[in-house]
Protein backbone atom coordinates (compact mmCIF):
# COMPACT_ATOMS: atom_id res chain seq x y z
CA UNK A 1 0.00 0.00 0.00
CA UNK A 2 1.10 3.54 -0.69
CA UNK A 3 2.67 5.33 2.27
CA UNK A 4 1.19 8.58 3.49
CA UNK A 5 2.85 11.08 5.81
CA UNK A 6 0.03 10.97 8.32
CA UNK A 7 -1.72 14.08 7.03
CA UNK A 8 -5.16 14.30 5.48
CA UNK A 9 -5.06 17.87 4.25
CA UNK A 10 -4.22 19.89 7.35
CA UNK A 11 -5.52 17.18 9.71
CA UNK A 12 -3.71 14.33 11.44
CA UNK A 13 0.04 14.36 12.06
CA UNK A 14 1.85 13.34 15.22
CA UNK A 15 2.07 16.12 17.82
CA UNK A 16 3.91 14.13 20.45
CA UNK A 17 7.18 14.30 22.42
CA UNK A 18 10.38 13.08 20.74
CA UNK A 19 10.52 9.86 22.77
CA UNK A 20 7.07 8.86 21.54
CA UNK A 21 7.93 9.81 17.93
CA UNK A 22 10.65 7.18 17.91
CA UNK A 23 8.28 4.51 19.16
CA UNK A 24 5.60 5.48 16.63
CA UNK A 25 8.14 5.33 13.81
CA UNK A 26 8.81 1.68 14.67
CA UNK A 27 5.08 0.91 14.52
CA UNK A 28 4.79 2.78 11.22
CA UNK A 29 7.68 0.95 9.61
CA UNK A 30 6.35 -2.45 10.62
CA UNK A 31 2.78 -1.61 9.62
CA UNK A 32 3.79 -0.65 6.08
CA UNK A 33 6.01 -3.71 5.80
CA UNK A 34 3.42 -6.24 6.93
CA UNK A 35 0.31 -4.74 5.31
CA UNK A 36 1.78 -5.83 1.97
CA UNK A 37 3.20 -9.13 3.22
CA UNK A 38 1.27 -12.10 1.73
CA UNK A 39 1.83 -14.27 4.79
CA UNK A 40 0.62 -11.57 7.19
CA UNK A 41 -2.46 -11.01 5.01
CA UNK A 42 -3.16 -14.76 4.88
CA UNK A 43 -3.04 -14.89 8.66
CA UNK A 44 -5.28 -11.83 8.96
CA UNK A 45 -7.81 -13.36 6.55
CA UNK A 46 -7.73 -16.63 8.49
CA UNK A 47 -8.73 -14.91 11.75
CA UNK A 48 -11.25 -12.67 9.99
CA UNK A 49 -13.02 -15.75 8.71
CA UNK A 50 -12.51 -18.37 11.43
CA UNK A 51 -12.49 -16.19 14.54
CA UNK A 52 -14.47 -13.02 13.82
CA UNK A 53 -16.92 -14.87 11.59
CA UNK A 54 -16.54 -12.81 8.40
CA UNK A 55 -17.85 -12.17 5.96
CA UNK A 56 -20.99 -10.99 7.69
CA UNK A 57 -24.19 -10.30 5.71
CA UNK A 58 -25.32 -7.16 3.97
CA UNK A 59 -28.95 -7.57 4.95
CA UNK A 60 -31.85 -5.92 3.14
CA UNK A 61 -34.07 -4.57 5.93
CA UNK A 62 -37.30 -5.05 4.04
CA UNK A 63 -39.73 -4.57 6.94
CA UNK A 64 -38.01 -1.39 8.07
CA UNK A 65 -37.91 -0.12 4.48
CA UNK A 66 -41.64 -0.81 4.05
CA UNK A 67 -42.55 0.76 7.37
CA UNK A 68 -40.68 3.94 6.45
CA UNK A 69 -41.80 3.91 2.83
CA UNK A 70 -38.96 5.30 0.69
CA UNK A 71 -35.39 4.34 -0.20
CA UNK A 72 -34.13 0.79 0.33
CA UNK A 73 -32.21 0.24 3.55
CA UNK A 74 -29.44 -2.36 3.73
CA UNK A 75 -27.65 -3.14 7.00
CA UNK A 76 -23.99 -4.17 7.13
CA UNK A 77 -24.11 -6.66 9.98
CA UNK A 78 -21.01 -5.89 12.06
CA UNK A 79 -23.21 -6.75 15.04
CA UNK A 80 -22.80 -10.41 14.11
CA UNK A 81 -19.03 -10.41 14.62
CA UNK A 82 -17.46 -12.25 17.54
CA UNK A 83 -17.76 -9.92 20.59
CA UNK A 84 -20.63 -8.10 18.91
CA UNK A 85 -19.17 -5.11 17.10
CA UNK A 86 -16.68 -3.85 14.52
CA UNK A 87 -13.94 -3.14 17.10
CA UNK A 88 -12.64 -6.72 16.87
CA UNK A 89 -11.60 -6.15 13.20
CA UNK A 90 -9.01 -3.64 14.32
CA UNK A 91 -8.00 -5.49 17.48
CA UNK A 92 -7.22 -8.67 15.50
CA UNK A 93 -5.21 -6.70 12.91
CA UNK A 94 -3.12 -4.85 15.48
CA UNK A 95 -2.47 -7.89 17.69
CA UNK A 96 -1.19 -9.82 14.65
CA UNK A 97 1.11 -6.91 13.87
CA UNK A 98 2.33 -6.85 17.49
CA UNK A 99 3.09 -10.56 17.23
CA UNK A 100 5.17 -9.99 14.10
CA UNK A 101 7.04 -7.26 15.99
CA UNK A 102 7.78 -9.74 18.82
CA UNK A 103 5.92 -7.65 21.38
CA UNK A 104 4.54 -9.76 24.20
CA UNK A 105 2.77 -7.08 26.17
CA UNK A 106 -0.28 -5.22 24.87
CA UNK A 107 -1.63 -2.02 26.39
CA UNK A 108 -4.81 -0.16 25.51
CA UNK A 109 -7.06 2.60 26.73
CA UNK A 110 -10.78 2.22 27.11
CA UNK A 111 -13.67 4.53 27.95
CA UNK A 112 -16.87 2.56 28.09
CA UNK A 113 -14.90 -0.68 28.04
CA UNK A 114 -15.81 -1.93 24.57
CA UNK A 115 -12.33 -1.47 23.12
CA UNK A 116 -10.85 -2.90 26.32
CA UNK A 117 -12.97 -6.03 25.91
CA UNK A 118 -11.98 -6.41 22.22
CA UNK A 119 -8.31 -6.01 23.18
CA UNK A 120 -8.52 -8.44 26.11
CA UNK A 121 -10.19 -10.91 23.75
CA UNK A 122 -7.41 -10.91 21.15
CA UNK A 123 -4.75 -11.00 23.88
CA UNK A 124 -6.36 -14.14 25.32
CA UNK A 125 -6.37 -15.59 21.81
CA UNK A 126 -2.71 -14.85 21.20
CA UNK A 127 -1.41 -15.48 24.72
CA UNK A 128 -0.29 -11.89 25.26
CA UNK A 129 -0.06 -9.96 28.52
CA UNK A 130 -2.81 -7.35 28.49
CA UNK A 131 -3.00 -4.13 30.48
CA UNK A 132 -6.04 -1.90 30.04
CA UNK A 133 -6.00 1.70 31.29
CA UNK A 134 -9.41 2.96 32.26
CA UNK A 135 -10.48 6.12 34.07
CA UNK A 136 -11.48 5.24 37.63
CA UNK A 137 -14.90 6.82 37.14
CA UNK A 138 -15.43 4.67 34.04
CA UNK A 139 -14.42 1.50 35.91
CA UNK A 140 -17.32 2.18 38.29
CA UNK A 141 -19.77 3.09 35.53
CA UNK A 142 -18.83 0.01 33.50
CA UNK A 143 -18.33 -2.62 36.19
CA UNK A 144 -19.48 -5.48 33.99
CA UNK A 145 -16.96 -4.68 31.27
CA UNK A 146 -14.18 -4.53 33.86
CA UNK A 147 -15.24 -7.98 35.03
CA UNK A 148 -15.38 -9.22 31.44
CA UNK A 149 -11.83 -8.00 30.75
CA UNK A 150 -10.61 -9.69 33.94
CA UNK A 151 -12.29 -12.95 32.97
CA UNK A 152 -10.36 -12.76 29.70
CA UNK A 153 -7.13 -12.50 31.67
CA UNK A 154 -6.47 -8.76 31.34
CA UNK A 155 -5.31 -6.45 34.09
CA UNK A 156 -7.46 -3.32 34.36
CA UNK A 157 -5.61 -0.31 35.79
CA UNK A 158 -7.91 2.45 37.12
CA UNK A 159 -6.52 5.90 36.30
CA UNK A 160 -7.16 8.47 39.03
CA UNK A 161 -5.40 11.53 37.55
CA UNK A 162 -7.25 14.48 35.98
CA UNK A 163 -10.94 13.79 35.44
CA UNK A 164 -10.38 10.02 35.82
CA UNK A 165 -12.03 9.34 32.45
CA UNK A 166 -11.01 8.34 28.91
CA UNK A 167 -8.66 11.23 28.22
CA UNK A 168 -6.61 10.44 31.32
CA UNK A 169 -6.57 6.75 30.38
CA UNK A 170 -5.10 7.72 26.98
CA UNK A 171 -2.37 9.76 28.68
CA UNK A 172 -1.52 6.88 31.02
CA UNK A 173 -1.35 4.43 28.10
CA UNK A 174 0.93 6.74 26.07
CA UNK A 175 3.22 7.15 29.06
CA UNK A 176 3.44 3.38 29.54
CA UNK A 177 4.13 2.99 25.80
CA UNK A 178 7.15 5.30 25.94
CA UNK A 179 8.50 3.67 29.13
CA UNK A 180 8.11 0.07 27.95
CA UNK A 181 8.37 0.33 24.15
CA UNK A 182 10.86 -2.49 23.95
CA UNK A 183 8.36 -5.24 24.72
CA UNK A 184 5.07 -3.34 24.46
CA UNK A 185 2.55 -2.56 21.71
CA UNK A 186 -0.16 0.10 22.12
CA UNK A 187 -3.37 -1.21 20.59
CA UNK A 188 -5.39 1.93 19.86
CA UNK A 189 -9.14 1.59 19.47
CA UNK A 190 -10.37 4.09 16.88
CA UNK A 191 -9.21 5.97 13.78
CA UNK A 192 -7.67 8.67 15.98
CA UNK A 193 -4.37 9.44 17.71
CA UNK A 194 -0.99 10.25 16.19
CA UNK A 195 0.18 8.79 12.87
CA UNK A 196 0.24 5.88 11.94
CA UNK A 197 -2.84 4.92 13.99
CA UNK A 198 -5.59 6.63 11.92
CA UNK A 199 -4.24 5.01 8.74
CA UNK A 200 -3.64 1.65 10.38
CA UNK A 201 -7.07 1.45 12.03
CA UNK A 202 -8.72 2.49 8.75
CA UNK A 203 -6.91 -0.29 6.89
CA UNK A 204 -7.99 -2.94 9.39
CA UNK A 205 -11.59 -1.66 9.37
CA UNK A 206 -11.80 -1.29 5.57
CA UNK A 207 -12.86 -4.93 5.35
CA UNK A 208 -16.34 -3.57 6.16
CA UNK A 209 -16.52 -1.46 3.00
CA UNK A 210 -14.70 -3.99 0.83
CA UNK A 211 -17.29 -6.63 1.67
CA UNK A 212 -20.23 -4.22 1.44
CA UNK A 213 -19.14 -3.09 -2.04
CA UNK A 214 -18.98 -6.67 -3.33
CA UNK A 215 -22.27 -7.56 -1.63
CA UNK A 216 -24.30 -4.63 -2.95
CA UNK A 217 -23.01 -5.23 -6.48
CA UNK A 218 -24.19 -8.80 -6.15
CA UNK A 219 -27.58 -7.87 -4.68
CA UNK A 220 -28.42 -4.81 -6.78
CA UNK A 221 -25.98 -4.79 -9.67
CA UNK A 222 -24.88 -1.28 -8.80
CA UNK A 223 -23.25 0.86 -6.11
CA UNK A 224 -25.38 2.39 -3.35
CA UNK A 225 -26.53 6.01 -3.35
CA UNK A 226 -25.72 6.59 0.33
CA UNK A 227 -23.46 5.18 3.02
CA UNK A 228 -24.37 6.02 6.61
CA UNK A 229 -22.41 5.26 9.78
CA UNK A 230 -22.16 6.55 13.35
CA UNK A 231 -19.06 8.55 14.21
CA UNK A 232 -17.35 8.46 17.59
CA UNK A 233 -13.64 8.46 16.82
CA UNK A 234 -14.68 7.38 13.36
CA UNK A 235 -13.38 3.84 12.85
CA UNK A 236 -16.53 1.98 11.80
CA UNK A 237 -17.46 4.89 9.53
CA UNK A 238 -14.08 5.15 7.81
CA UNK A 239 -14.02 1.36 7.43
CA UNK A 240 -17.28 1.48 5.49
CA UNK A 241 -16.56 4.72 3.60
CA UNK A 242 -12.96 4.33 2.50
CA UNK A 243 -13.41 1.65 -0.20
CA UNK A 244 -16.05 3.93 -1.83
CA UNK A 245 -14.23 7.24 -1.56
CA UNK A 246 -13.30 7.39 -5.24
CA UNK A 247 -16.86 6.53 -6.30
CA UNK A 248 -18.06 10.11 -6.47
CA UNK A 249 -21.70 9.14 -7.03
CA UNK A 250 -21.81 7.43 -3.61
CA UNK A 251 -22.74 9.95 -0.91
CA UNK A 252 -21.05 9.55 2.45
CA UNK A 253 -22.84 10.54 5.65
CA UNK A 254 -21.34 10.37 9.14
CA UNK A 255 -23.71 10.63 12.09
CA UNK A 256 -22.46 12.35 15.22
CA UNK A 257 -24.09 12.24 18.66
CA UNK A 258 -26.16 15.38 19.28
CA UNK A 259 -26.83 14.24 22.87
CA UNK A 260 -29.42 16.50 24.47
CA UNK A 261 -29.21 18.87 21.49
CA UNK A 262 -26.58 20.72 19.45
CA UNK A 263 -27.71 23.98 21.08
CA UNK A 264 -26.83 22.62 24.55
CA UNK A 265 -23.33 21.84 25.82
CA UNK A 266 -24.30 18.20 26.28
CA UNK A 267 -23.33 16.52 23.03
CA UNK A 268 -20.20 15.07 21.41
CA UNK A 269 -20.59 16.41 17.87
CA UNK A 270 -16.94 17.25 17.15
CA UNK A 271 -17.36 17.99 13.45
CA UNK A 272 -20.74 19.72 13.63
CA UNK A 273 -19.80 21.99 16.55
CA UNK A 274 -16.03 21.78 16.98
CA UNK A 275 -13.10 23.88 15.83
CA UNK A 276 -9.70 22.86 14.51
CA UNK A 277 -7.31 21.89 17.28
CA UNK A 278 -5.00 19.23 18.62
CA UNK A 279 -6.16 16.41 20.87
CA UNK A 280 -4.28 13.22 21.80
CA UNK A 281 -1.45 14.06 19.43
CA UNK A 282 -3.33 14.78 16.19
CA UNK A 283 -5.14 17.66 14.51
CA UNK A 284 -8.88 17.44 13.90
CA UNK A 285 -12.20 19.13 14.58
CA UNK A 286 -12.49 19.04 18.33
CA UNK A 287 -14.69 20.34 21.14
CA UNK A 288 -12.28 22.48 23.12
CA UNK A 289 -12.20 25.49 25.43
CA UNK A 290 -10.22 28.71 24.77
CA UNK A 291 -7.09 27.07 26.16
CA UNK A 292 -7.38 24.13 23.78
CA UNK A 293 -8.42 21.74 26.57
CA UNK A 294 -11.05 19.13 25.59
CA UNK A 295 -14.56 20.04 26.76
CA UNK A 296 -16.73 17.59 28.69
CA UNK A 297 -18.93 15.68 26.26
CA UNK A 298 -22.15 13.71 26.51
CA UNK A 299 -23.87 11.02 24.49
CA UNK A 300 -26.36 8.40 25.51
CA UNK A 301 -24.04 6.03 23.61
CA UNK A 302 -20.85 5.53 25.62
CA UNK A 303 -18.93 4.60 22.46
CA UNK A 304 -19.64 7.97 20.80
CA UNK A 305 -18.60 10.05 23.79
CA UNK A 306 -15.31 11.52 22.48
CA UNK A 307 -14.39 15.22 22.03
CA UNK A 308 -12.34 14.66 18.84
CA UNK A 309 -12.77 12.84 15.54
CA UNK A 310 -10.48 11.03 13.11
CA UNK A 311 -8.37 13.26 10.82
CA UNK A 312 -9.66 11.61 7.65
CA UNK A 313 -13.26 12.51 8.54
CA UNK A 314 -12.14 16.05 9.36
CA UNK A 315 -10.64 16.19 5.86
CA UNK A 316 -13.72 14.76 4.11
CA UNK A 317 -15.82 17.36 5.88
CA UNK A 318 -13.46 20.18 4.90
CA UNK A 319 -13.31 19.23 1.20
CA UNK A 320 -17.00 18.36 1.04
CA UNK A 321 -16.54 14.64 0.27
CA UNK A 322 -18.52 13.68 3.36
CA UNK A 323 -21.57 15.16 4.99
CA UNK A 324 -21.73 15.05 8.80
CA UNK A 325 -25.05 15.27 10.59
CA UNK A 326 -26.13 14.78 14.19
CA UNK A 327 -28.81 12.71 15.93
CA UNK A 328 -30.03 13.34 19.48
CA UNK A 329 -30.25 10.81 22.32
CA UNK A 330 -34.05 10.71 21.93
CA UNK A 331 -33.92 10.14 18.17
CA UNK A 332 -31.37 7.35 18.65
CA UNK A 333 -33.54 5.65 21.27
CA UNK A 334 -36.59 5.79 18.98
CA UNK A 335 -34.54 4.11 16.25
CA UNK A 336 -33.25 1.58 18.79
CA UNK A 337 -36.82 0.45 19.50
CA UNK A 338 -37.95 0.75 15.89
CA UNK A 339 -35.25 -1.58 14.56
CA UNK A 340 -35.77 -4.02 17.44
CA UNK A 341 -39.50 -4.25 16.75
CA UNK A 342 -39.52 -4.24 12.94
CA UNK A 343 -36.51 -6.42 12.19
CA UNK A 344 -35.87 -8.36 15.41
CA UNK A 345 -32.41 -6.79 15.58
CA UNK A 346 -31.47 -4.97 18.79
CA UNK A 347 -28.77 -2.50 17.73
CA UNK A 348 -26.04 -0.93 19.85
CA UNK A 349 -27.16 2.58 20.83
CA UNK A 350 -24.19 3.90 18.85
CA UNK A 351 -25.47 2.17 15.70
CA UNK A 352 -29.00 3.39 16.44
CA UNK A 353 -27.74 6.91 15.64
CA UNK A 354 -26.97 5.78 12.08
CA UNK A 355 -30.32 3.97 11.83
CA UNK A 356 -32.15 7.11 12.99
CA UNK A 357 -30.60 9.25 10.29
CA UNK A 358 -31.13 6.57 7.64
CA UNK A 359 -34.83 6.45 8.56
CA UNK A 360 -35.11 10.23 8.26
CA UNK A 361 -33.37 10.23 4.90
CA UNK A 362 -35.11 7.16 3.44
CA UNK A 363 -38.49 8.81 3.93
CA UNK A 364 -37.49 11.61 1.53
CA UNK A 365 -36.16 9.28 -1.18
CA UNK A 366 -37.82 7.44 -4.07
CA UNK A 367 -38.06 3.65 -3.74
CA UNK A 368 -35.20 2.91 -6.13
CA UNK A 369 -32.55 4.69 -4.04
CA UNK A 370 -30.22 2.50 -2.01
CA UNK A 371 -28.81 3.21 1.45
CA UNK A 372 -26.22 1.09 3.25
CA UNK A 373 -26.15 1.61 7.03
CA UNK A 374 -23.32 0.28 9.11
CA UNK A 375 -24.86 -1.66 11.99
CA UNK A 376 -21.64 -1.30 13.96
CA UNK A 377 -22.69 -3.41 16.94
CA UNK A 378 -25.42 -5.26 18.77
CA UNK A 379 -27.38 -3.94 21.70
CA UNK A 380 -26.87 -6.69 24.27
CA UNK A 381 -24.41 -4.47 26.11
CA UNK A 382 -27.05 -1.73 26.35
CA UNK A 383 -30.01 -3.71 27.64
CA UNK A 384 -29.39 -2.86 31.31
CA UNK A 385 -28.99 0.87 30.59
CA UNK A 386 -32.17 0.92 28.50
CA UNK A 387 -34.11 -0.90 31.23
CA UNK A 388 -32.95 1.62 33.82
CA UNK A 389 -33.88 4.50 31.55
CA UNK A 390 -37.36 3.13 31.09
CA UNK A 391 -37.65 2.70 34.85
CA UNK A 392 -36.51 6.30 35.27
CA UNK A 393 -33.38 5.53 37.31
CA UNK A 394 -31.04 6.98 34.76
CA UNK A 395 -31.31 10.53 33.57
CA UNK A 396 -30.91 10.38 29.85
CA UNK A 397 -34.25 10.50 28.12
C1 LIG B 1 -17.01 2.09 19.81
C2 LIG B 1 -18.24 1.97 18.98
C3 LIG B 1 -18.60 2.97 18.04
C4 LIG B 1 -17.84 4.24 17.87
O5 LIG B 1 -16.50 4.11 17.53
P6 LIG B 1 -15.96 4.45 16.08
O7 LIG B 1 -14.49 4.38 16.22
O8 LIG B 1 -16.45 5.82 15.72
O9 LIG B 1 -16.50 3.44 15.17
C10 LIG B 1 -19.73 2.76 17.26
N11 LIG B 1 -20.48 1.65 17.40
C12 LIG B 1 -20.17 0.68 18.29
C13 LIG B 1 -21.04 -0.51 18.38
C14 LIG B 1 -19.04 0.81 19.11
O15 LIG B 1 -18.75 -0.15 19.99
For the chain, 397 residues long, give each residue's pLDDT as a single digit of tens.
999 999 999 999 999 999 999 999 999 999 999 999 999 999 999 999 999 999 999 999 999 999 999 999 999 999 999 999 999 999 999 999 999 999 999 999 998 899 999 999 999 999 999 999 999 988 998 899 999 999 999 999 999 998 888 888 999 999 999 999 999 999 999 999 999 999 999 999 999 999 999 999 999 999 999 999 999 999 999 999 999 999 999 999 999 999 999 999 999 999 999 999 999 999 999 999 999 999 999 999 999 999 999 999 999 999 999 999 999 999 999 999 999 999 999 999 999 999 999 999 999 999 999 999 999 999 999 998 899 998 887 655 5
The reply to whether ligand 1 has any atom less than 6 angstroms from the CB of 233 is: yes
Domain residues for the domain of 305 are 54-84+207-390
Shared-domain flag, residues 186 and 214:
no
Q: Are residues 212 and 327 in the same domain?
A: yes
Three-state SS at 132: strand
Q: 249 with 352, same domain?
A: yes
The total of structural domains in the chain comes to: 2
149, 240: one domain = no
Catalytic position from the list 28, 55, 78, 109: 109
What CATH number is given to the structural domain containing 124?
3.40.50.1100
**Which of 230, 235, 299, 376 is flagged as catalytic?**
376
Rounded Cα distance between 353 and 361, Å, is 13
Is 348 found in the same domain as 291? Answer: yes
**Co-location of 133 and 37 in the same domain:** yes
pLDDT at 394: 64
List CB contacts of 75: < 8 A, sequence separation 6 or more: 58, 59, 61, 343, 345, 372, 373, 375
Please, are residues 135 and 158 in contact by the beta-carbon 8 Å criterion? yes
Task: Choose one of 114, 188, 350, 352 to mutate for the ligand 1 pocket test, by most ligand atoms within 8 angstroms of C-beta.
Answer: 350
191 and 301 fall within a common domain: no
Same domain, 173 and 287: no
The last residue of a domain, from among 163, 180, 201 = 201
The CA distance from 127 to 105, in Å, is: 9
Query: How many angstroms separate the alpha carbon of residue 18 from the centre of ligand 1?
Result: 30
Expressed in angstroms and rounded, the spacing between residue 396 Cα and the centre of ligand 1 is 19
Helices (H), the chain: 18-34, 38-47, 62-68, 87-100, 114-126, 136-141, 143-151, 166-179, 197-205, 207-220, 235-241, 270-273, 311-319, 329-343, 349-363, 383-390
293 is catalytic: no
Residues 158 and 118 in one domain: yes
Cβ of 304 less than 6 Å from ligand 1: yes
Amino acid sequence: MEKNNGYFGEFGGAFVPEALKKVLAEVEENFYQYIDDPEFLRELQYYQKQYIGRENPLYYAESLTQQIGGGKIYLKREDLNHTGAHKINNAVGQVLLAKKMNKKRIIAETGAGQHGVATATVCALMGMDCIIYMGEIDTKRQELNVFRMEMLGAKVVPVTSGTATLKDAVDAALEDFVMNAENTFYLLGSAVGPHPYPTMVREFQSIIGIEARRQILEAEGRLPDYLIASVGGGSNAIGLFHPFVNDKEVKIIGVEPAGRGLDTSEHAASISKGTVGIIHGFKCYTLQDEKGEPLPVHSIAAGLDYPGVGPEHSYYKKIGRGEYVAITDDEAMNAFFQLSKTEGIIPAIESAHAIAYAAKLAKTLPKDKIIIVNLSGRGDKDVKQVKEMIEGKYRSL
